[in-house]
Amino acid sequence: MTTLSPASFPETLAERLAMPPAGDIRLYWLGQAGFAIVGDGYRIVIDPYLSDSLAEKYRGKHFEHERMMPAPIRPADLGPVDLVLVTHQHTDHMDPETLGPLATASPACRFLVPRAAIEAAGTRIGVGDERLIAIDAGEQVEPLPGLRITAVRAAHETLERTAEGWHRFLGYVIETGGVRIYHSGDTIPFEGLAEEIAPLAIDLALLPVNGRSDELLKAGIAGNLTLEEACRLAERIGAGDMIAHHYGMFAFNTADPAAIDAKSAAADCGAQVHRAKLSVEYRLSR
């Protein structure tokens, strides 16, 4: 049985991460789908987007990508990072202006990426093959002693695969310190998803809740779980807690924080719902 305890902290995130380890597994939201996970002797980062690269790319376009929230930390201040997990190659998940500086600041850090995106990863991050770990759905690796990562399927609108059969979108189950954390990556519901994840005995689910729309899909912007779909998925996989994320970054593709808070207060989801917040430490203990 695990317990997730959120607590605000007064320091900057950089100052908080610089403090000595305090036991248990601790999670910090980086905005969008990004998280830092600290504990069991390791520092893991998932899908960090800490730049304005998309704002610069889409400035003046119909769907501008101006940040609704400032980056909570500079990439160089995340270190020393042991491992970065990338779920797919969309820029808000595989951002060269975040991952390149992070790789420089943490020269021993390696990057776990979908095999379908291995070439793009090398180019965007600016590292050699020795720092890249390729993985596909159904595979498990132990990149660090006692840290196991299992890749699972994700459908960012579709279960898209390359000509080689590799999945373009992945989720990850992270097993460390006696707990299991599921980061779904960007996904919508699909047949077999819950059945694939449930046997992995998830303690905490990190799920996107920004939903999707035909208008955005026509513009090439794929969607995600709605809040209700995320709750149903968390319940079906047996997660005790769920952190709702992937909101509050871009105005055209977000979710209502009040709705997430209402769902948390209603306690009508099989998992306890927590809204991802900056300057909050989520401590996961067994």
The one-letter code for the residue type at 57 is K
Both tokens of 160, joined, read: 């898209």
User: Residue 19's Cα: distance from chain center in Å?
Assistant: 23
**Residue ranges of domains in the chain, CATH in brackets:** 3-285 (3.60.15.10)
| Global model pTM greater than 0.95 | yes
Tens digits of pLDDT across the chain (286 residues): 899 999 999 999 999 999 987 789 999 999 999 999 999 999 999 999 999 999 999 999 889 999 999 999 999 999 899 999 999 999 999 999 999 999 999 999 999 999 999 999 999 999 999 999 999 999 999 999 999 999 999 999 999 999 999 999 999 999 999 999 999 999 999 999 999 999 999 999 999 999 999 999 888 899 999 999 999 999 999 999 999 999 999 999 999 999 999 999 998 999 999 999 999 999 999 8
In our burial notation (b when 16+ CB lie closer than 10 A, e otherwise), range 113-122 reads: bbbbbbebbb
The residues, any chain, with a CB within 8 Å of residue 72's CB and separated by 6 or more, are: 12, 13, 29, 30, 31, 50, 278, 279
- 74, amino acid identity: R
